[in-house]
Amino acid sequence: MKIGIAADHGGFALKQIIQPYLVSLAHEIVDFGAYEHNDLDDYPDFVAPLAKAVSAKEIDRGIAVCGSGVGAAIVANKVKGVRASLITDYFSAHQGVEDDDMNLLCLGGRITGPSVAKELVRSFLDAKFSGGEKYVRRLNKIIALESC
């Protein structure tokens, strides 16, 4: 898959670990920055371009990392067509895709350690939307909200 990744200073160290892990899984990576650690950078500057690329289907899925993962999720969900969530557990990492068609995973670089983060990323990327009738119905209700 073509995977986009983005992080601010709070997520930079974890992004540096996730990126080679994605390469080891044979994914194609698009890096939306930050490209260096800068305590003064702002997560919307990296997460918004990532989310727009997901929305435009230029990439298949996105991974955004900030300190808590909260800000990244808030920004990403502002972009039409993006379904982002802060994930800290294995179950939600795959169930969020299977039931809710989550297309952007948010992680907290100050919350989730490297080994757990790798498992969450793998679980997210291995999962597929089930396409079940009730899930499509719910998704359509979410899509309707995007034009409010």
**Taking CB under 6 A as the rule, does residue 85 contact ligand RB5?**
no
39 to 58: interface string for ligand RB5, x by CB under 6 A: ----x---------------
Extract the tokens encoding 76.
């990403």
Q: Choosing from 3, 7, 22, 66, which is the catalytic residue?
A: 66
**Taking CB under 6 A as the rule, does residue 29 contact ligand RB5?**
no
Whether 66 is a known active-site residue: answer yes
DSSP letter string over 117-138?
HHHHHHHHHH------HHHHHH
**Taking CB under 6 A as the rule, does residue 4 contact ligand RB5?**
no
Strand order in the sheet with 28-31: 28-31, 2-7, 61-66, 104-108, 84-86
Q: Which residues bind ligand RB5 (CB under 6 A)?
A: 8, 10, 43, 66-68, 70-71
